[in-house]
Amino acid sequence: MNIGTQDTTKHRIRFALGAMAALAALAAVLAGCSQGSPKGWQGYLEGDFVYVASPLSGRLDALSVAKGSRVPAGAPLFVLEHAAEDAARRQSGQQLQESKDQLSDLGKGSRPEELAALEARLGSARADAELSRLDLARQEALFKAGAIAASDYDHARLTHEANLRSVDECAAQLETARLGGRSDAVAAAQAAVRAASDAEAHAAWSVDQKTQVAPCAALVYDTLYRVGEFVSAGSPVVSLLPPQNIKVRFFVSEADIANVHAGDHVSVEVDGLPSPIDATVSYLSQDPEYTPPVLYNRDNRSKLVFMVEAKVPAAEAANLHPGQPVDVVPKAQ
């Protein structure tokens, strides 16, 4: 290689290096400008699921929904076996009726036949008292005339007094029989009625808890048991995703978090949708974290970010799915 060729090669290398340095400087300038301009954030859709369970255990007898279907509020979801609960409810109902009958019986007093017998005894006692009164009057006249001894007069007098006391006794018995049970007995019967009523309500609640319905209109996101399997108390059988429970979760850099506030409106771009969705910022995390691995890229790797959540209107969320990646752009306030 001659000297002229070597000089040309060196000149070309120096030119290439200079061009690369210029491009690097231009990239740095552009990067600095882009950092100061408004930009969007990366995120994904998240759902707050509603796990429907029964507080009681039992075999799954019926599953009324299928995974992926949509159900209105109040739609039946599943039924657990409830034969024992039905029997307990019938038993408690019978016990409640028994307690009510006992309370009613205490309020009625004695039976009509018993009252009639007491009234007859009272009438007989009054008749005896009247007869002894007449006999006492005759004996008193004879005693004053000296025709009978004092003992005969005393006998007539005491007999009449005894008959009067018998009348009082029969009248008191009749009045007591008409009054019914004593106040403490009535209070005890009333307490028994309340206890039986509470037992019946608990038994009815147990039966109702074996049948669960949708608390709101939602997507049946998953079914966790099959018919015939035993379900433990409190174990979810169906997971629901109401549209209003879908939210946007995105991550804002430490430099931008001061400009984001609860109530701000953002525009959410979702792949496959023709236009962005309006959402409202509802929550800002107070704790910074490192960028989640799913969002690693050359721009935000190893930077601190803050997790932010935004609510999506239920009408817009019907066709969204948790896990979808999104781009969030702030809207002018």
Strands (E), 215-276: 218-223, 230-231, 236-241, 246-253, 265-270
Sign of CA dihedral 229, 80, 84, 199: positive
Q: Any bridge partners for residue 47, and if so which?
A: 246
CA distances (Å), origin 279, targets 241, 243, 249 = 18, 13, 11
Q: Which CATH architecture fits 50-81+207-241? A: Beta Barrel (2.40)
What would the pLDDT profile of 61-92 be if each residue is shown by its tens digit? Answer: 999 999 999 999 999 999 999 999 999 999 99
Can you give the pLDDT at residue 54? 97
pLDDT of residue 180: 73
SS3 8: helix
Structure tokens at 251: 């991550």
Q: How far is CA 1 from the centre of its chain?
A: 92
Instruction: Output the six-digit token pair for 313.
Output: 């209107």
pLDDT on residue 319: 82
CA distance 283 to 260: 10
**Cβ neighbours of residue 254 closer than 8 Å, sequence gap 6 or more:** 288, 303, 304, 305, 306
The torsion angles phi and psi of 214, rounded to 5 degrees, stand at -70, 125
- Residue 250, both tokens: 């995105």
pLDDT at 37: 38
- Determine contact, residues 239/49, Cβ cutoff 8 Å: yes
Residue by residue, what is the 3-state secondary structure of 32-47?
Answer: HHHHHCCCCEEEEEEE
Q: In degrees rounded to 5, what are phi and psi of residue 307?
A: -80, 130
Q: 3-class secondary structure for 161-176?
A: HHHHHHHHHHHHHHHH
* Domain extents in the chain: 38-48+243-330, 50-81+207-241, 87-205
Token couple for 94: 């019978």
Beta bridge partners of 310: 248, 281
Residue 240 in tokens: 């629901």
CA proximity to 192, closest of 329, 98, 67: 98
Q: Which residues of the chain have pLDDT under 70?
A: 1-39, 291-303, 332-333
Cβ atoms of 102 and 224 within 8 Å: the answer is: no
Q: What is the CATH number of domain 38-48+243-330?
A: 2.40.30.170
Dihedral sign, Cα of residue 266, residue 269, residue 274, residue 277: negative
3-state secondary structure (DSSP) of residue 66: coil
The pTM of the full predicted model, rounded to 2 decimals, is 0.66
